[in-house]
Amino acid sequence: MSVSQQNLLGENLTYSVNYGWVKIGEAKIFIDPELKYVNEEPHYQVQCLVKTASFIGFFKSIDYCYESLINVNTGLPLISHRVLKTGDDLDVRTNTFSRGDSTNISAYIEDVDAHRYHSFSNRKIVLDFLSTFLFFRRVDFTNQQSIEINSFYSNTLYGVTLRKPRVGKTKWSDTHFSTSEFSLFFPGNEYFKNDKHGKVVLLNDRYR
């Protein structure tokens, strides 16, 4: 599966953020209509805005802004910047990605004025939050049944195995859509001991 460059540029998507059946916020993802060139390489500029409201005192309000430059040809991130406001707390981070014999990440944490440095084998596909979102829309399973990817978030690398999607129909608001359902496998790590499973369902018209 793939989505043409022309279809992505200028795209503006809005998602509902739910806790169970209750809507607690909204997420918007916007791709700049113009490509950005770094060292003559074309990049998408992608921004995600998430806003929630406190709900009956159980949740703190969350304002989240994430912006990335993502290489058009490789799908890999070059730089990502995030601002996360939870209640009165503010977390601002910038990650810069470079690649040679390994994938190297320089993470600057603004509120403590500190850098963290990480290095990962090139055998791993290392993405950030928004390049992971785009990866789902361009991944090709022609010659394989599964792909392992890794998302770097808050100084931690999260591994997930993406399995070949099942194409079918999904009903939403009394309308049936052609969809691809991806099965996800999360191996246990320091945050959860047992393996986890999940799924993502995307529309086939634009792989959203």
pLDDT in tens, the chain (208 residues): 344 455 689 989 888 776 666 677 788 999 999 999 999 999 999 999 988 765 545 556 678 899 999 999 999 999 999 998 877 788 899 999 999 899 999 999 988 888 999 999 988 889 998 998 888 777 777 888 888 888 888 788 888 887 777 777 766 666 777 777 767 666 665 555 566 666 666 665 554 4
HEC states along 117-144? EEEEECCCCEECHHHHHHHHHHCCCCCC
Q: According to the model, what pLDDT value does residue 36 have?
A: 95
Q: How far is CA 17 from CA 10, 51, 65, in A?
A: 22, 9, 15
